[in-house]
Amino acid sequence: MTRDVRQAPAVRYAPTDDVDFVIVGAGAAGGVVARELARSGFRVLVLEQGPYLRESDFKHDELLVGEGHQLTNIPSLQPQTFRATADDKATRRDYLIYGRMVGGGSVHFTANYWRLHEEDFIERTRYGSVPGAALEDWPIRYAELEPYYSRAEWELGVSGIAGANPFDPPRSRPYPLPPLPIKPSGVLMEIGARKLGWHPAPAPLAIISKSYRGRSGCQHCGFCESFGCEWKAKSSTLATMIPEAERTGRCEIRPNSYVRRIQTDSRGRVTGVVYFDAQKREVMQRAKAVVVCANGAETPRLLLMSASNQFPNGLANSSGVVGKHLMFNGGAFAGALFEHEVNGYKSVQVSRYVQDHYRLDPKHGIVGGGGIDMRFDWYPISFAMEALPTDAPRWGADFKKMVREYFTRTAYALAHTTQLPQEASTITLDPELKDAWGLPAIRTTFTEHPNDMKLYQFFLERNLELLNAAGATRTWAFSIDAPWQVHLLGTCRMGNDPKSSVVDKFHRAHDVPNLFIVDGSSFVTCGTGQPTMTIQALAFRAAEAIAGFAKRGEIRG
């Protein structure tokens, strides 16, 4: 027997049940949409390709989450290819990482939870036309999203101090929870940043600092980024929205269900989806409407895989922009050694951040900007493998000595930045490589805009400046040519014009009245840093709009 609240009477739908909504993907956005639509009285079925793991499945085991891909996409099952430009032949490379489980990326993410700022929504107006970039304003403004940012903070549980960051946009409510304790790296950050005249503030985190809505506060175990929280203190949708959705008695979460196609009828309306169940059998599930929340890589892939006679370029793709404008947020990374114990391996990764360079002064001639935090996101294996200065010994007695000296005394500065949207940066279907189900693999085509590289260099210099000002005894830079690809954004952008965007401002596909798309793919520009708070605020807003359409009979068209 179990006392887990998730064991509440589970509703089970049959494939022939015409449920009100099928949601594809139980991630950061999907979990929110599921809970909101189920609470509004609709019958909701969530199909998630990954497993339904419990807190008891989470281990402090670097190999299990790394080599074992326990919480993320599994390259041996879903391999990918990559090419820098459309002129190159793509080769096998697992370029993108995302959470593949109930809860999606909200389970293993670092939980840095930043709002976008007002100007992030109007960069086209701000900068005009930038050569080579497909810069556009969003069809919504910060003020329209603000109530949903606040809702996300309160419904999910976010820790921080309103007003501590002077660059924060206006807010209607304070944070529901006080910030987590300052870490040694946070103290060093405050010292360094203040010396430079910057404005360090407690980092807002989707982690609860104290008990909140039946969950216990963070216990500072340190296995946070890349791991699932055994204490349910990280406000993943697995720990928050999903059990609440299930408790309505109207929402079924169906794991190990890999959607391969969205089905349409002769009128161009969605009738349901076809998915592979755990035994790789194909099942047709009927639905009155479908909400795709499969993330910035899998959502465009699914639309492209759903091409038909009626939609030859892929579903909802009359504009041709499905899969285009892929963005990740860029960044720069530097490390430093300090005299005394920093012990970054304890507690959450980040406790302080700065946004003094959120939008660079025009005198730099660089579009966009970024934020910087100080952190430690290594574990023993990854630290010894790659955290030391690039010119450090890599093996032998000196190597071992250095790992032993440095592990408890290092801290790192990480900047997250703008990346410009470009038409040539895409997710497409690989013409040759197939996954373990015989479906076309993801092919990523990506090269940074020259502006992005200038931005990374700018931030690399700020990182080093910060670490030195904090009193480092030694600092070192990491290459800016190797950014990470974990924020998957922009590939089904929203807009008012059906010719240049995939969904409207309420996330309804321009081409298909009963198809909605809500996840990182909706972003028009990638913003300046951490996307997930905006993904989830959009999800609250979209769910409210979708529920309204359904209640007014405005979905089937």
Partner 1 sequence: MSHATDPVRSRRDFIALLGTTASTAWLATIWPPAIADAREAGDAASQGQAPRYRALTKQQAEDFGAVADRIIPRDDAPGARDVGVVFFADHLLATFSPARKPEFDQALAALNEAARKHVPDAGSFASLTPTQQDETLRSIETTDAFNLLRSITISGYFSHPSHRGNRDQAGWKAIGFQDRMSWTSPFGYYDQPDVMARLMPWRRA
**Which positions from 174 to 213 touch ligand SF4 by CB under 6 A, shown as an x/- string?**
---------------------------------x------
- Where do the DSSP E strands lie in 388-510? 410-417, 426-434, 440-445, 474-477
- Which tokens in the block code for residue 112? 């840095």
Q: Does 347 bind ligand SF4 (CB under 6 A)?
A: yes
Q: How far is the CB of 114 from ligand SF4 (least distance, A)?
A: 17
133 binds ligand FAD (CB under 6 A): no
CB of 425 to ligand FAD, least distance (A): 17
Residue 4 near residue 239 (C-beta atoms within 8 A): no
Closest distance to ligand SF4 from the beta carbon of 431 (Å): 41
Least Å distance between CB 146 and ligand SF4? 26
Q: Is 48 in the site for ligand FAD (CB under 6 A)?
A: yes
Query: At which residue do the structure tokens 């114990």 appear?
Result: 341
Q: How far is the CB of 271 from partner 1 (least distance, A)?
A: 29
Of 430, 393, 368, 439, residue with least CA distance to 124? 368
**Do 193 and 199 touch, CB atoms closer than 8 A?**
yes
Say if CB 327 and CB 490 are below 8 A apart: yes
Sign of CA dihedral 503, 507, 510, 516: positive
Question: Taking CB under 6 A as the rule, does residue 233 contact ligand SF4?
Answer: yes
Q: Which of 324, 306, 230, 269 is nearest to 521 (CA)?
A: 324
**Residue ranges of E strands in 241-329:** 251-254, 258-264, 270-276, 282-292
For position 373 contacting ligand FAD by CB under 6 A, the verdict is: no
Q: Is 223 in the site for ligand SF4 (CB under 6 A)?
A: yes
Q: How far is the CB of 468 from partner 1 (least distance, A)?
A: 16
Taking alpha carbons only, the member of 241, 240, 218, 242 closest to residue 230 is 218
How many angstroms separate the CA atoms of 402 and 337, rounded?
11
The backbone torsions φ and ψ at residue 449, rounded to the nearest 5 degrees and listed phi first, read -70, 145
Q: How far is the CB of 184 from partner 1 (least distance, A)?
A: 4
Dihedral of alpha carbons 134, 170, 361, 186, sign:
negative
Contact partner, 381, from partner 1, ligand FAD, ligand SF4, none, Cβ < 5-8 Å per class: partner 1
Q: Does 110 bind ligand FAD (CB under 6 A)?
A: yes
Nearest of 446, 65, 550, 343 to residue 542 by alpha carbon: 550
* Interacting residues with partner 1 (CB under 8 A): 1-4, 51-64, 67-69, 74, 76-77, 181-184, 186-188, 190-191, 194, 219-222, 230-231, 338, 340-347, 380-381, 383-385, 394-397, 399-401, 403-404, 407-408
286 near ligand SF4 (CB under 6 A): no
Q: Among the candidate windows 218-226, 302-310, 381-389, 413-421, which touches ligand SF4 by CB under 6 A?
A: 218-226
Q: Which residues bind ligand FAD (CB under 6 A)?
A: 24-30, 47-50, 97-101, 104-106, 108-112, 225-226, 258-259, 293-295, 298, 302, 486-487, 519-520, 530-532, 535
What is the contact surface with ligand SF4 in residues (CB under 6 A)? 207, 218-224, 227, 229, 231, 233-234, 347-348
